[in-house]
């Protein structure tokens, strides 16, 4: 399975590296190099990145922050990560455009679907930030929404696990990995691939999801080259 236009979903935590918080410069450079390798093959790339390394909206209640306010803070955290990734990519001579679902003209373009598609067609890496621009929606939902809007062939969900298992492989050494699984099976078995809003959107719009370990060098390139890596959800 080869892809022409992809949406890469990264968690904010993936930028922490060995740290407990914030952005590890080594991880930024690593992700920029992985993205550059596939951009050079002519693949059109959109990226959605989370903000959990800086602020997680759902934890706002414990800190006395109202849910909606906490979610907006989380969206701003994704913008910080997007700016960092944009800078790292441009140091690798990759042309990028940062798009924000919340208007902030000094640092990002507003989301205009046709313009985003044009950026992709011109070979620019498009980094979507600020989630969907609405509270109560995760960056998984933003990834599913943007992938649907731009006509992505697939969502590549980069994680620290090499696919989807029937139980947590970090806790259960006998956990069974799926090479391929259907949307209905994931729902039936209550496997946590994405939140249900995002997952349902992918199912309805027939966008396959590949969950893979992005911390293994060249996994992303191998996927683009058609190798079977991680777990495919169809």
- What's the pLDDT tens digit per position in 116-167? 999 999 999 999 999 999 999 999 999 999 999 999 999 999 998 899 998 8
In the predicted model, is pLDDT for residue 23 greater than 80?
Answer: yes
Least confident of 92-101, 112-121, 193-202: 193-202
Q: Which two tokens stand for residue 134?
A: 């609405």
Mean local confidence (pLDDT), 35-49: 97
Contacts of 174 (CB under 8 A, 6+ apart): none
Confidence at 224, pLDDT banded by 50, 70, 90: very high
Confidence at 59, pLDDT banded by 50, 70, 90: low
Percent of the chain with pLDDT over 90: 81
Task: Name all domains of the chain by residue range, CATH numbers in brackets.
Answer: 5-233 (3.40.1160.10)
CA-wise closest residue to 123 among 47, 48, 43:
43
| pLDDT recorded at residue 153 | 96
Q: What is the mean pLDDT of the chain?
A: 93
| pLDDT recorded at residue 61 | 58
CA dist 46 and 143 (Å) reads 9
Contacts of 102 (CB under 8 A, 6+ apart): 72, 75, 76, 79, 130, 133
In the predicted model, is pLDDT for residue 60 greater than 60?
Answer: no
Task: Find where tokens 């922050």 sit.
Answer: 65
């Amino acid at each position: 399975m080869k892809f022409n236009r992809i949406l890469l979903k990264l968690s904010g935590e993936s930028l922490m590296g060995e740290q407990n918080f914030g952005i590890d410069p080594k991880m930024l450079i690593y992700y920029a190099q992985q993205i550059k390798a596939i951009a050079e093959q002519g693949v059109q790339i959109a990226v959605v990145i989370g903000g959990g390394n800086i602020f997680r909206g759902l934890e706002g209640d414990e800190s006395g922050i109202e849910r909606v306010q906490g979610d907006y803070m989380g969206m701003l955290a994704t913008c910080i990560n997007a700016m960092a990734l944009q800078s790292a990519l441009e140091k690798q001579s990759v042309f990028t455009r940062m798009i924000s679902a919340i208007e902030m003209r000094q640092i990002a373009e507003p989301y205009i679907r046709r313009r985003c598609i044009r950026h992709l067609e011109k070979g620019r890496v498009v980094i979507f930030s600020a989630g969907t621009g609405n509270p109560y929606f995760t960056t998984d939902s933003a990834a599913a929404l943007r992938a649907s809007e731009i006509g992505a062939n697939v969502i590549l969900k980069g994680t620290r696990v090499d696919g989807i298992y029937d139980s947590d492989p970090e806790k259960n050494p006998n956990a069974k990995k799926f090479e391929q699984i259907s949307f209905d099976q994931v729902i039936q078995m209550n496997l946590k691939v994405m939140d249900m809003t995002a997952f349902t959107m992918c199912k309805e719009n027939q966008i396959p999801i590949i969950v893979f370990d992005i911390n293994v060098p060249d996994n992303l390139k191998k996927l683009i080259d058609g190798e079977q890596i991680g777990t495919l959800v169809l």
